[in-house]
Chain A
């Protein structure tokens, strides 16, 4: 926070307040000085609370300024300018539904079911596993974009072994 600006604002506030509520001519030590002190405190309180007070009382005689906030009197952290909170990228995998031999395409030489960058829907077939001459489809459990293919064509895999990395679609 820029201190210089804060002091200037304080003076501006004091001038306003002085115009509105200062009735008695100033005497020494000046009420003005006390007001400056008080308004400075008010500024701080307003700044540290994230929301405006529910009530405010200002008395000029003897200087009394009361501010009140509803709810718990916790001092909120001074709002710090931060970037929008970015969720750490969650890695989602499409795992092997069975132990078997992993194939990326429905037949030798055919186009792979999916490639990196493809968007897939939940339930879409992305590969196939051969178990004892039986073909078991590998399906995406959720929609998303294929980020990486983790096993090569023809590789033997165990149950639940990650085959694809998937970036889920965020709504």
Chain B
């Protein structure tokens, strides 16, 4: 056990930098922020002791530049680096470089990051821990002939996935055997370009499956708990739009078994910190392992709303050598929570990014309404980064109450600016869709 960190550098931008900085402040930890030239006045500056300009707008030279981030930590006396999500958050080499510089990387060990970041290795590890996988190959397919044989064995539709894939990229659904060869070539080429790793594996594709994930917390003493599930079925082109907990319409017994499998899986690999195990749940209510996200996730607030547990605070506590302060029996989720991701995108133009200067930004408030954001009136949304500008999270005693509250909150939202378009109206339409309230998750927009 230690007394905790005194200074933490937040190696991220946007709302998650603000989120992490808040947890640090509540714990009496000094905050160092970083920024690129495209973020001249970051919101994190209000919470940070200092914000270090680490590079130009291009992410590779700033937020993805591990050397610059570590240098900023060393020159400001930070003891630990919180990577947030995206950017360097799951980079095993960066985690190792932090350790070499005497800094604590807030997340799993580098070898665990490497093992879970490689989807083939992750599948092998999970299979060994008795976590059910989708029918398909455990090892990456050797070549087109090998991949085709696997697909023919498991049947169509099948899905080809990049071993190094993520964020909805490097995934191709193959409807028939005749389409396979072309899809294989396209996916391996894309994976090589995007991730520098052309290896792929083949799985059964479940067209009506629900995307449900389990939040876990592990300390370095072998203690692990799950904090329930999040249903992220409502997606558009593999990008999550709305997340909620509990997963509607699924038997509690199934969800409990899935959560226990998640804990078993992460314990087997020596996981430390906060993590998410993603599953697909098919129409027969069988669950199948997808991947482990070795970071705090965008949708983590829905879990915080129902459990009352500050996940970022626990990350900081665990990384400083703390023990989990609760056991599984202490975690009792209450009610329902929904998160809507508000992006600066134009739904009428195929969700093309629509950045600009915000003239008006007046978010909803009120009981059980949480808004995580980094923007403000006059803020210039940079075109260089992700289009997420705010997350609206609401809590209700049950799903129906939470849903209504989310709809009212979206209706209260006022965002405008020159050239700025947002997904607020689109999200309201999705929530109002009978298919969404009927919990089927089939909106014609998903997957």
Among B72, B97, B101, the residue within 8 A (CB) of A99 is: B72
A159 contacts B67, C-beta separation under 8 Å: no
B37 contacts A99, C-beta separation under 8 Å: no
Asked if B138 lies at the interface with its beta carbon under 8 angstroms from chain A, I say: no
A161 contacts B71, C-beta separation under 8 Å: no
* Chain A 151-162 near chain B by CB (<8 Å), digits 1 or 0: 000001011110
B54 contacts A158, C-beta separation under 8 Å: yes
How many CB-defined contacts (below 8 Å) exist between A and B? 40
Q: Which of A98, A99, A132, A158 has the most CB of B within 10 A?
A: A99
Q: Which residues of A contact B67 (CB under 8 A)?
A: 98, 131-132, 134
Among A131, A156, A161, the residue within 8 A (CB) of B53 is: A161
B70 contacts A159, C-beta separation under 8 Å: no
Q: Which of B52, B54, B71 has the most CB of A within 10 A?
A: B71
Asked if A98 meets B55 with Cβ closer than 8 Å, knowing A131-B67, A159-B37, the reply is yes
Interface size class of B (residues with CB under 8 A): 10 to 19
Asked if A160 meets B75 with Cβ closer than 8 Å, knowing A99-B68, A132-B67, the reply is no
Q: Which residues of A contact B71 (CB under 8 A)?
A: 98-100, 131-132
Asked if B168 lies at the interface with its beta carbon under 8 angstroms from chain A, I say: no
Q: Which residues of B contact A98 (CB under 8 A)?
A: 55, 67-68, 71
CA separation between A160 and B52, bound complex, in Å? 11
Asked if B59 lies at the interface with its beta carbon under 8 angstroms from chain A, I say: no
Among A101, A134, A156, A159, the residue within 8 A (CB) of B54 is: A159
Residue of B whose beta carbon sits closest to that of A96: B53
CA separation between A46 and B133, bound complex, in Å? 97
A131 contacts B68, C-beta separation under 8 Å: yes
A158 contacts B70, C-beta separation under 8 Å: no
Rounded to whole Å, the gap between the CB of A96 and the closest CB of chain B is 9
A132 contacts B70, C-beta separation under 8 Å: yes
CA separation between A132 and B21, bound complex, in Å? 25
A159 contacts B53, C-beta separation under 8 Å: yes
Q: Which residues of B contact A159 (CB under 8 A)?
A: 37, 53-56, 62, 68
Interface size class of A (residues with CB under 8 A): 10 to 19
Asked if A158 meets B101 with Cβ closer than 8 Å, knowing A99-B68, A131-B68, the reply is no
Rounded to whole Å, the gap between the CB of B194 and the closest CB of chain A is 26
Q: Which residues of A contact B97 (CB under 8 A)?
A: 132
Among B37, B72, B101, the residue within 8 A (CB) of A160 is: B37
Q: Which residues of B contact A156 (CB under 8 A)?
A: 75
CA separation between A99 and B71, bound complex, in Å? 7
Rounded to whole Å, the gap between the CB of B74 and the closest CB of chain A is 8
Q: Which residues of A contact B70 (CB under 8 A)?
A: 132
Interface residues of A in 74-117 (CB under 8 A from B): 98-101
Q: Which residues of A contact B37 (CB under 8 A)?
A: 159-160
CA separation between A143 and B53, bound complex, in Å? 26
Interface residues of B in 21-74 (CB under 8 A from A): 37, 52-56, 62, 67-68, 70-72
CA separation between A98 and B397, bound complex, in Å? 51
Q: Which residues of B contact A100 (CB under 8 A)?
A: 68, 71
Residue of B whose beta carbon sits closest to that of A133: B67
Residue of A whose beta carbon sits closest to that of B76: A156
* Chain A 120-131 near chain B by CB (<8 Å), digits 1 or 0: 000000000001
Rounded to whole Å, the gap between the CB of B304 and the closest CB of chain A is 33
Rounded to whole Å, the gap between the CB of B29 and the closest CB of chain A is 21
Q: Which of A100, A134, A159, A160 has the most CB of B within 10 A?
A: A159
Among B53, B54, B101, the residue within 8 A (CB) of A132 is: B101
CA separation between A98 and B52, bound complex, in Å? 11
Q: Which residues of B contact A160 (CB under 8 A)?
A: 37, 53, 56
Q: Which residues of A contact B101 (CB under 8 A)?
A: 132
* Chain B 69-105 near chain A by CB (<8 Å), digits 1 or 0: 0111001000000000000000000000100010000
Rounded to whole Å, the gap between the CB of A84 and the closest CB of chain B is 38
With A99-B71, A132-B67 known, 10 other A-B pairs at CB within 8 A are A98-B55, A98-B71, A100-B71, A132-B71, A156-B75, A158-B52, A158-B54, A159-B54, A160-B37, A161-B53
Instruction: Give the B-binding residues of A (Cβ under 8 A).
Output: 98-101, 131-132, 134, 156, 158-161
Instruction: Give the A-binding residues of B (Cβ under 8 A).
Output: 37, 52-56, 62, 67-68, 70-72, 75, 97, 101
| A-B residue pairs in contact (CB < 8 Å), sample of 5 | A98-B71, A99-B53, A101-B75, A134-B67, A158-B53
